[in-house]
Structure 1
Amino acid sequence: MNDAIRQGWETTKRHKYVLVALFLYRLLWGFFLYRFIDAIVAPILTRYPDEHPIGEAAKQLFAIEAQFRLLKTDLADRTLLMLGAMLLLRMLITPIVNAGLYYSFAHAQDQGGTQVLQGIRRSWKKVSLFYGAEKLIALAPAIWLIPFGRSAYLEMPNAASWIGQMLPYAAGWAIWMLAVHLPFLFMQFSAAAGDRPWQGAIRAIRRLLPLLGVTILLPLLSLLGSAAVSGATLIWTGLLAIALNQAFHFVRSTIALWTAACQHRLWQREEA
């Protein structure tokens, strides 16, 4: 695993221009998502009775009104529909970008520079096919889990009880998504490199332990860094907090690219 991390970092440095493009893509996506959520949440929060004369009674009335708007109007349906459309758009773009990146990883030693655009032209269809199959299988439990969660929410006396009931199901779903993701990721590596996809799934099983280590360790660093940045912005507000948040998008993009490069190095290893 250590060799994969070191070699993955070397591959990441070779793709520095791809890293800049990935950073800008994530930055723009985060901006539009923030503006969308802000347009929905801000009008509701303006009605919050922060210093109302009747105090707690006004806050309870606000909570009742918010619950009524969520459950008795089409606000939640329209919001979920828009979020679903945005998610679908991202799911269409992501495998195309991945196809170019994985192809470039596989041919990083062939010649100078990267081959992302060439990889998109040659392998986007195959990578998109496996990416779509992965998402269908990974999201299949949602067909049962979402209606179950909605029914449980309506029956629970408070949100804390509902979260406690749903937490084991959410954890199980997360484990299922990871178990589906890893073999399909190696199948996408194989498809981009022109190999047989099923061989990629076998490699993922054979190298499961180092693959799990890389897949969990590096994103964990990103999560810890994100928590540190969030804590810092609570202390240093204003322009500095905004600059710190935006700068961390680059760190997050670097770790994401590094993780993919390390996973690809594990796929490339000759022993197995």
Structure 2
Amino acid sequence: MRTFAGQGWASLKDQFYVIILLFIYRLLWGYCLYRLVKSVVIPLLMRFPDPAPSELSRLLYFFEGEMALEGGGILNHYVWVLLGLLVLRMMLTPLIRAGIYYNLHREAEGERGLFWFQGMRRFWKPVTLFYLLELILLLAPAGWLLPKMLQPLMLAVRDPAALLEPALWLAAWVFYAWLIRLILLYMQFSRTSGNGILQAVLLCLRHFGKAMSLSLLIGGSGALMLLLLSGLSLWWAGLAGLILHQASYFVQSLFQLWGITSQYQVWKAGSRQH
């Protein structure tokens, strides 16, 4: 496991420009969400009665908000904006993944260069299909799982012990989602390299222990780093906190790509054995 993690880390030096691009992408995405939330919250706060409202002015404020929501104009506008951002993200995600996978293949062959954009052009279609399949498989259990979790969650208001059952269901869904994404990741490695997809599934299952250990090691380390940065940004409010918060986007991109490059090393080693 340490060998694959080390090889994946060494591979990052050839993927550093990808980390920078992912960092900029996440930074811009966060900024867009910030501007959207600000455009909603600030006008609402500006309309709140000042000085301190009386009971009547507070009721009028909430009544005005209720009337605005019932009118549907404001709500529909922001719903469509959110849907537009979601669709845009769904369109960009397969492109980013296709570029990363192709870049890894070229690096493994000893080539150096900016292959990320070439990978987008060559493999955006199959990677998009895999992405849609991933979404379907991840969301499919929701129709069965949510009703089973709803009643225990309602009972948890009076009995906190009732949270145990939905927590177990949630943990099972998280493990299922991780397994699906892992198998599809190996399938995409094979598809973008021209190898068989079924072989990739068997390879993933054969090296499941290594893959799981890598995910726990790298994912856990990344989560700890993000928690540390979040805590420090709250502790050091001001410019230092803002810089630390923005740095979390870079750390997230770094560990995400490290996880992919490490899993790629497992896939590459397994492929050479066949």
Aligned match of 2:98: 99
Aligned match of 1:167: 167
Partner Cα separation in structure 1 for residue 76 and residue 216 of structure 2: 34
What is the root-mean-square deviation of aligned Cα atoms in Å?
4.0
| 1:112–1:218 distance in 2 versus 1, CA, 3 Å | same
Q: Report the secondary structure of 1:113's partner residue.
A: coil
Partner Cα separation in structure 1 for residue 140 and residue 70 of structure 2: 28
Residue identity opposite 1:103 in structure 2:
Y
Q: CA deviation at 1:166?
A: 3.9
1:155-186 Cα offsets, whole Å, 9 max, x none, are: 66859969936433322221221121111111
Q: CA deviation at 1:7?
A: 1.0
Aligned match of 1:228: 228
The answer to whether the 8 Å contact 1:153/1:162 transfers is no
Residue identity opposite 1:105 in structure 2:
L
1:224-255 Cα offsets, whole Å, 9 max, x none, are: 11111121122211111101111222122111
| 1:144–1:33 distance in 2 versus 1, CA, 3 Å | farther
Runs of 4+ deviating beyond 4 Å: 41-49, 51-54, 71-82, 149-163
1:211 paired to 2:227? no
Percentage of identical aligned residues = 33
Partner Cα separation in structure 2 for residue 144 and residue 44 of structure 1: 38
1:265 paired to 2:265? yes
| 1:3–1:114 distance in 2 versus 1, CA, 3 Å | farther
Residue identity opposite 1:271 in structure 2:
Q
Aligned match of 1:131: 131
Q: Report the TM-score when normalising by structure 1.
A: 0.80
User: 22-31 vs 118-127, which deviates more?
Assistant: 118-127
Aligned match of 1:32: 32
Which structure 2 segments of 5+ residues have no match? Answer: none
Aligned match of 2:119: 119
Partner Cα separation in structure 1 for residue 239 and residue 10 of structure 2: 34
The answer to whether the 8 Å contact 1:5/1:214 transfers is yes
Q: CA deviation at 1:223?
A: 1.3
Residue identity opposite 2:26 in structure 1:
R
The answer to whether the 8 Å contact 1:222/1:252 transfers is yes
> How many residues are matched?
266
| 1:249–1:178 distance in 2 versus 1, CA, 3 Å | same
Partner Cα separation in structure 2 for residue 153 and residue 72 of structure 1: 32
Q: Report the secondary structure of 1:107's partner residue.
A: helix
Partner Cα separation in structure 1 for residue 188 and residue 86 of structure 2: 20
Which structure 1 segments of 5+ residues have no match? Answer: none
Aligned match of 1:10: 10
Aligned match of 1:202: 202
The answer to whether the 8 Å contact 2:156/2:162 transfers is no
User: 16-25 vs 85-94, which deviates more?
Assistant: 85-94
Partner Cα separation in structure 1 for residue 157 and residue 70 of structure 2: 18
Q: Report the secondary structure of 1:181's partner residue.
A: helix
| 1:89–1:160 distance in 2 versus 1, CA, 3 Å | farther
| 1:9–1:162 distance in 2 versus 1, CA, 3 Å | same
| 1:43–1:210 distance in 2 versus 1, CA, 3 Å | farther
